[in-house]
């Protein structure tokens, strides 16, 4: 018998043909369900890796959005977190990132890196309605009720179509890039521009977030250099062209503090602090186009300085303002400190309801005003 030469294993090796190529060779057009049902569980690793990348970017975006909002209040000893703003911003960023990017070409940045795409049954980019459903349900899947995504992970691993609940409801699938219909060149251009914009925004927001954590609370001096006020790390000078002593605000722009002053020359002679308080209480409402609440001024002590305090209220452009005004100083120079918040108004609210609703911010402003003291140092409250 003729000897048959031995062959190595590599000589019998072959190159696998992708599923779409097999069907095309047979003259058929596969759908997404047919393709994904033949994937091994290893496609889950791609999805998991894509989620890690995406959630890292989302975390960077949230760092810049959340830290300036949370940290000023978190520095207070009696701080109690308000979950509604935190939850609202988190859900908006999370939903917006996935829904908007996927609606362009089926990619997020993580999916693009791992070469997978969200598609409809025909392997093309799903409509915005399907992606809305897919990502709304994702928010539910990430809840504690769904074990923070563990249920979704199990479904992807054990179901034939490799779908989580959002995919099942929306009729979407996650395919490898080579198995999906390629989007138009225009969609791809918009995709890459969007990726560049989101990446740049994530880096900027991360820098803002880190800066918020490491930045020391600001010490702002009055223009005459005699007094200073301390504000949280998220505050900054609000107007360089302000002709008074000082004007600062937080990054969100809804909390502001303004300091003005007068001496015997601007007052045409010496007056007592009580008389100066009456002057400011009569002049300031008209200057700011707001209303004095009509109540008597309260006599207080501000870091060892005698002071008076009264409140004002304003309304305009759909927003209501609540003002706390403090008047202090001595016969050489008097100061008025105006601290206020400006929030979108509910037309059914009275000013009392408004102040109760935003009492935490008003208290926060009182804490800033309470830091007003001489740069030479005095006994604090």
d(CA 64, CA 61): 6
| Residue 336: φ, ψ to 5° | -120, 130
C-alpha dist (Å) from residue 225 to 59, 61, 165, 325: 41, 38, 62, 21
Helix (H, G, I), strand (E, B) or coil at 221: strand
- Mark 25-46 as b/e (b = at least 16 C-beta within 10 Å): eeeeebebebbbeebeeebeeb
The structure's pTM equals 0.56
Residue 97 CA, distance from chain mean position: 13
Asked if 178 contacts 36 with a C-beta cutoff of 8 angstroms, the reply is: no
* Separation CA 295–CA 311 (nearest Å): 8
pLDDT at site 66: 81
Measured between alpha carbons, how far is residue 235 from residues 71, 107, 118, 303, 313 in Å? 11, 37, 42, 22, 23
Per-residue pLDDT of the chain (381 residues; tens, 9 = 90+): 455 455 444 444 444 455 556 555 555 678 999 999 999 888 999 999 999 999 999 999 998 888 766 665 554 444 566 778 888 888 999 999 999 999 999 999 999 999 999 999 999 999 999 999 999 999 999 988 888 899 999 999 999 999 999 999 999 999 999 999 999 999 999 999 999 999 999 999 888 877 766 655 678 899 999 999 998 777 888 766 678 899 998 866 689 999 999 998 899 888 999 999 999 999 999 999 999 988 899 999 998 899 999 999 998 878 899 999 999 998 889 999 999 999 887 767 888 889 998 998 999 999 999 999 998 754 333
């Amino acid at each position: 018998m003729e000897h048959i030469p031995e062959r190595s294993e590599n000589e019998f090796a072959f190159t696998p043909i992708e599923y779409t190529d097999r069907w095309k060779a047979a003259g058929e057009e596969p759908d997404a369900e047919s393709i994904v049902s033949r994937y091994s569980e290893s496609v889950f690793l791609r999805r998991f890796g894509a989620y890690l990348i995406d959630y890292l970017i989302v975390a960077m975006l949230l760092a810049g959005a959340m830290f300036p909002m949370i940290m000023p209040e978190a520095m207070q000893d009696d701080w109690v977190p308000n979950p509604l703003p935190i939850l609202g911003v988190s859900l908006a960023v999370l939903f917006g990132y996935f829904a908007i990017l996927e609606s362009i070409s089926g990619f997020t940045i993580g999916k693009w890196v791992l070469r997978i795409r969200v598609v409809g049954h025909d392997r093309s980019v799903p409509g915005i309605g399907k992606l809305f459903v897919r990502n709304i349900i994702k928010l539910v899947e990430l809840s504690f009720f769904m074990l923070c995504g563990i249920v979704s992970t199990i479904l992807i691993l054990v179901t034939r179509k490799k779908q989580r609940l959002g995919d099942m409801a929306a009729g979407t699938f996650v395919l490898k890039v080579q198995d999906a219909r390629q989007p138009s060149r225009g969609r791809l251009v918009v995709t890459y521009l969007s990726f560049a914009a989101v990446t740049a925004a994530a880096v900027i927001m991360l820098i803002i977030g880190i800066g918020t954590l490491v930045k020391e609370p600001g010490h702002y001096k009055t223009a005459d250099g005699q007094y200073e006020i301390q504000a949280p790390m998220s505050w900054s000078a609000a107007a360089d062209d302000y002709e008074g002593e000082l004007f600062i605000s937080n990054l969100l722009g809804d909390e502001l503090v303004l300091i003005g002053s007068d001496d015997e020359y601007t007052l045409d002679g010496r007056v007592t602090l009580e008389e100066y308080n009456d002057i400011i209480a009569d002049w300031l409402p008209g200057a700011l186009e707001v209303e004095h609440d009509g109540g008597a001024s309260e006599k207080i002590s501000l870091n060892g300085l005698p002071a008076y305090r009264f409140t004002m209220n304003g309304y305009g452009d759909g927003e209501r303002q609540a003002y706390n005004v403090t008047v202090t100083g001595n016969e050489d120079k008097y100061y008025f400190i105006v601290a206020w918040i400006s929030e979108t108004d509910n037309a059914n609210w009275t000013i009392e309801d408004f102040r109760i609703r935003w009492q935490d911010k008003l208290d926060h402003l009182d804490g800033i005003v309470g830091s007003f003291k001489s740069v030479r140092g005095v006994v604090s409250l």
